[in-house]
Each structure stands twice: as C-alpha cells, then as structure tokens.
Amino acid sequence: MDNLDRQVLDQAVAWHGEGHKVWLVTVVETWGSAPRPPGALLALRDDGLVVGSVSGGCVEDDLIERVRSGERYDKPSVIRYGVSKEEAARFGLPCGGTLRLIQEPLTDPAWAREVLRRSAAHELVVRTLDLETGETTVGKGGRGEAFSFDGRMMRAVFGPRWRVVVIGAGQLSRVFASMAQALDFEVICCDPREEYHLTWDVPDTEFTSEMPDDLIMRIGLDAHSAVVAVTHDPKLDDLALIEALQSDAFYVGALGSRANNAARRERLAMFDLTPDQIGRLHGPIGLDIGSRTPAEIAVSILAEMVAVRNNVPLRQKKPELAPAA
C-alpha cells in the first residue's frame, strides 16, 4: 500500500468516527488517456472535503458538487465520465479518454481498519466488494495479483508499504533517508556503532543499534523491501548483504568503488551464495550521473531503486555493472 492509499483510508475512518457520512470512490476502468489508473482511491466527506484523487481535478470537482447538491449514494454505484469527446474534454480526459468509477458509502469502517493494520504488518491483502450486495471481505493477497473488476466483483489489492533498510548512519544515510521518505519509503537505519547512533536525527524513521544481519533476519525482507549498505565496513555491510541477497528484496546495493565491489564479490563467493544471488548486487551503487556530494549520491541510489522497482532498464548504468532489473 502506498502512502496516498493509507492517507485516504486513514482519513475516511477518522471522518466516519467524527460522525460524518463518507464515500469512497475507486477508479475501476479507463479508456484512452485517463489521468489515474484502476485502483486509484478517493474519500469524499458529506460537506465536500476530499482526500486522494481519481483524475486531474475536474472529476473531483464534479463529485464534490454532486454531494453538496444532495446526491447521496446509499449503496455501491457505477459512475462514468467522458462518454463523448466533449465530456472527456470537460473533465480533463485527453484524447477522448473515459473513466469509470465505483462510489460506495463507508457504512462500516472495520474492513478499512483491517486493511491498514495488516498492510502495516507488511501483509499483502485483497479487499473484495460485491457491487450487488455491498458485501465486502478482506483476505490474503498473492504476489503478482492486481486490481480487477468484472462488472460485479471488485478486487482491490493493498500491498505492504515500500521500505528500505539502510546499513550505516553517516551523513549520506541521513540525506538518503529524508529523500526516501519523500518517495514514500519506510526507512529503517541500522548501525551498532555508538558514535553514529548518537547523531541519528532523521524524524519519522526507525533506528536500531543491533547487528545488520540480525535485523534483516528478524524483520524478514519481502518483495517490497530494499537494502542499501553504506558503511564501508565489511564486518557490517557484508553480513547484511549475505542475508539480503538470499531474500526476496527487490533491490540490494552497496557503496564503494569498482575495486572495492570486486573484492566484495570475491568475499561473498566464499559464502553459501550462488552466482545469480551475487549478481543481484548493485555495486557500485546508483545510476551513473556523475554524483559526488552526499545528496547527489542519494539521488543516484534512489533513482536506481525506483527504476528497478518499476522494472525499467538501467540506462544510466555502465553496462558491465548493471544487474538485470
């Protein structure tokens, strides 16, 4: 689940608890150049306040006006925008785009609370809505499962939040952590060295002084996890990398020169790692953008992480150093 979805559900539950009527609006189908993909979510309060988005803004304005004018849905209903080119243009849907939404009243927020709780625990969950009965259920999701709607049943996938484990708490890590948060990553920093522990000051991040490999084994790394090792200390970086490269983490990277990373790969080969597992290591870490300062290095690392997450070829990576995305 990304942070926007969490904000929408959090706010919807809060509004309901304050006694407001609340509707959830979900994009279920698009044609043409619709601005938001299927599964995009918005919460609408009875006085017209909204959180989230389903388009570039014009559709939201129309939904607000409908509620303020007294149009209230008491069961899940389908709304369509952009049937004609004129209407598509009016609602900011370029190239004759069409948008189909489901608007539903949030009568019982228990399912939303369960989705929030389970996704926070790094579970992949699926919420199913029966459009005819209004019945909703929450169950365990499977990797690769995507949003779907067959005309009656809507299945919305809420994945765990993306997270990154940073090994080392120096200046680069502090800059990197702040930037990663802006990209909606949950940040966990690990450094057992006391002098670094005392200077960690990045708000809304988790810090632990346990050994990095112990942390990785404790939390478990799923396909929504990344590991970035930046201590330059093999005793800390290598042990963490050994565990990370054998996990489901979507990205594992280590800071260092070409020579240092070549030596690191030789050390990793002495352990029970396959060539394919060692080949997953991104090192030297980051895209080749000529970075020198901590902020520039952080940008290059995060750009590479996002590219790998989105399964985009690493075009700015020197060919001999580019693991498969």
pLDDT in tens, 293-310: 999 999 999 999 999 998
pLDDT at 319 over 60: no
On whether both 170 and 115 belong to a single domain, the answer is: no
On whether both 134 and 231 belong to a single domain, the answer is: no
Classified as helix, coil or strand, 8 is helix
- Please give the helix or strand (H or E) that residue 155 lies within, else none: strand 153-158
On whether both 89 and 194 belong to a single domain, the answer is: no
| pTM for this model (two decimals) | 0.73
Concatenating the DSSP letter of every residue in 263-281 gives HHHHHHHTSS--HHHHHTE
On whether both 169 and 150 belong to a single domain, the answer is: no
Choosing from 142, 158, 174, the residue where a domain stops is 158
What was the pLDDT predicted at 149? 93
Choosing from 130, 158, 186, the residue where a domain stops is 158
Integer angstrom CA distances of residue 27 from 60, 133, 176, 195, 244: 12, 19, 33, 49, 36
On whether both 152 and 179 belong to a single domain, the answer is: no
> Which one-letter amino acid corresponds to residue 194?
E
| Side-chain-side CA neighbours of residue 186 (13 Å) | 16
pLDDT at 185 over 60: yes
Per-residue pLDDT band for 225 (boundaries 50, 70, 90) equals very high
Residue 286 sits in a domain whose CATH number is 3.40.50.720
Per-residue pLDDT band for 184 (boundaries 50, 70, 90) equals confident
Average pLDDT over residues 42-56: 89
> What digits encode the pLDDT tens for the residues 93-104?
554 567 889 999
- Distance between CA atoms of 44 and 279, rounded to whole angstroms? 47
On whether both 106 and 194 belong to a single domain, the answer is: no
On whether both 280 and 308 belong to a single domain, the answer is: yes
On whether both 198 and 237 belong to a single domain, the answer is: yes
pLDDT at 38 over 60: yes
On whether both 187 and 316 belong to a single domain, the answer is: yes
Concatenating the DSSP letter of every residue in 202-247 gives -TT-EEE-S-HHHHHHHH---TTEEEEE-S--HHHHHHHHHHHHTS
What was the pLDDT predicted at 89? 58
The domain tally of the chain equals 2
pLDDT at 223 over 70: yes
User: Nearest 5°: phi and psi at 205?
Assistant: -120, 160
Tracing tokens 């809420």 back to the chain, one arrives at 158
Average pLDDT over residues 260-283: 93
Radius of gyration of the chain (CA): 23
pLDDT at 57 over 80: no
- Distance between CA atoms of 61 and 48, rounded to whole angstroms? 9
How do 225-229 and 163-167 pair as beta strands?
parallel
Structural domain boundaries, residue 191: 163-321
Choosing from 103, 133, 158, the residue where a domain stops is 158
What was the pLDDT predicted at 88? 55
**Hey, what's the torsion of the CAs at 181, 184, 186, 190, to 10 degrees?**
-40
